Amino acid sequence: MLGLRSAFWQELQEDLKQVEGELEKALADIPHCLFREAALYLHQSGGKRVRPALAVISARCCAYPVERVLPLAVALELFHMATLVHDDIIDASILRRGRATVWVKWGKRFSLCLGNYLFSYAMSFLSHYEDKRINRILVYTSARIAQGELEQLARAFDITVTQQDYFRYILFKTALLLASSCQLGALVAGASEEVSRLFYRYGRDLGLAFQITDDVLDMVADGRQLGKPIGTDVRQGVITLPAIYALNHSSERDRLAFLLSKRDKGEEEIKETLDLIRKSGGIEYALAVAEGYLEKACRAAQALPPTPAKELLLEMAYRVKQRQK
């Protein structure tokens, strides 16, 4: 089974090389040298091109040639880059994948313009498709991403955030774009509304698992491996799933509530907060929830018509699971 998966995985790498080529062409075409330079810098920092990969696999599940899904794949990655540039301003992040963020190198005002530019540039690639839903879905997703950012921002240091709130934030901020990547890949390939809903659900649940895992890693990973310091969420008052669990289950709830709601925590306090969350079992709980979403994602994928590419969707879920280790 894994051998079979690997064969398709190899084929996907070939497709993704084409995406990479198109993406590089798109970046080289950016008219202003500073925009181009900064966009290439961000691009060369790495990244797994998850969104283009999901679009390509989904289109492949519908027997669509990779060439025709390329503009969508480029649009999705440019769009994702736009959100990264803006997110790093909003979160005041100084490192991404181990390198200085764009605003640290070029300034915040510049980064605001660059994000706007990349967003518009991304949208321009959608004009390759006749189907008006393509554009509509990405515009909708974009509005929800901004809303999710705001909602989480508005609740910073607020320990009354519930699990339900949290799932809504990460759905808007992260999972919807992964859902859209799958759904759009299927739609450009001519999938029916019904089938495209399965892709949507797969991408959404994968995205939820992905973000929960990301939030866990921010509490347990090795900072150097992560490419950024750990404890960022705790520092910035973003209340994620392990913290919500710990607030309800820790034996030192009051102390934890005090720490999580405190602004400008010292390094010792951040360490203490992370320790309390870890001791409460919040990490294991969050990972179990993430695994539940991965299983849901796989069930959606299993319901798809049988194609070789479908195995890749399962493989993607498997890789998200591996990140947890």
For its own copies, the binding residue among 9, 110, 157, 167 (CB under 8 A) is 110
Closest approach of Cβ 85 to its own copies, in Å?
10
Q: Which is nearer to its own copies, 48 or 132 (CB)?
A: 132
Q: Does 146 bind its own copies (CB under 8 A)?
A: yes
Q: Which residue has the tokens 């064969």?
A: 7
Q: Which is nearer to its own copies, 140 or 258 (CB)?
A: 140
Distance, CA of 189 to CA of 223 (rounded, Å): 40
* Strand, helix or coil for residue 100: strand
Closest approach of Cβ 284 to its own copies, in Å?
32
Q: Does 142 bind its own copies (CB under 8 A)?
A: yes
Distance, CA of 283 to CA of 163 (rounded, Å): 14
Closest approach of Cβ 104 to its own copies, in Å?
16
Residues 180/137, Cβ–Cβ less than 8 Å? yes
**DSSP code string of 282-305:** HHHHHHHHHHHHHHHHHHHHHTSP
Binding flags for its own copies, 120-139, as an x/- string (CB under 8 A) = xx-xx--x--x-x--xx--x
Q: What is the DSSP letter of 306?
A: P
Q: Which is nearer to its own copies, 130 or 268 (CB)?
A: 130
Closest approach of Cβ 261 to its own copies, in Å?
19
Question: Among 30-38, 215-223, 227-235, 284-292, which window interacts with its own copies (CB under 8 A)?
Answer: 30-38
Q: Does 171 bind its own copies (CB under 8 A)?
A: no
Q: Which is nearer to its own copies, 180 or 213 (CB)?
A: 180
C-beta neighbour count of 142 within 10 angstroms: 19
Binding flags for its own copies, 285-314, as an x/- string (CB under 8 A) = ------------------------------
Distance, CA of 32 to CA of 59 (rounded, Å): 33
Q: Does 34 bind its own copies (CB under 8 A)?
A: yes
Q: Which two tokens stand for residue 28?
A: 């080289």
CA 276 to chain centre: 27
Distance, CA of 237 to CA of 183 (rounded, Å): 33
Q: Does 37 bind its own copies (CB under 8 A)?
A: no
Q: Which of 178, 232, 188 is nearest to 208 (CA)?
A: 178
Q: Which is nearer to its own copies, 101 or 250 (CB)?
A: 101
Q: At 216, which helix (H) or strand (E)?
A: helix 193-220
Question: Among 146-154, 158-166, 181-189, 302-310, which window interacts with its own copies (CB under 8 A)?
Answer: 146-154
Strand partners, 96: 99
* Strand, helix or coil for residue 277: helix
Residues that bind its own copies (CB under 8 A): 31-32, 34-35, 86, 89-90, 108-110, 112-117, 119-121, 123-124, 127, 130, 132, 135-136, 139-140, 142-143, 145-147, 149-151, 153-154
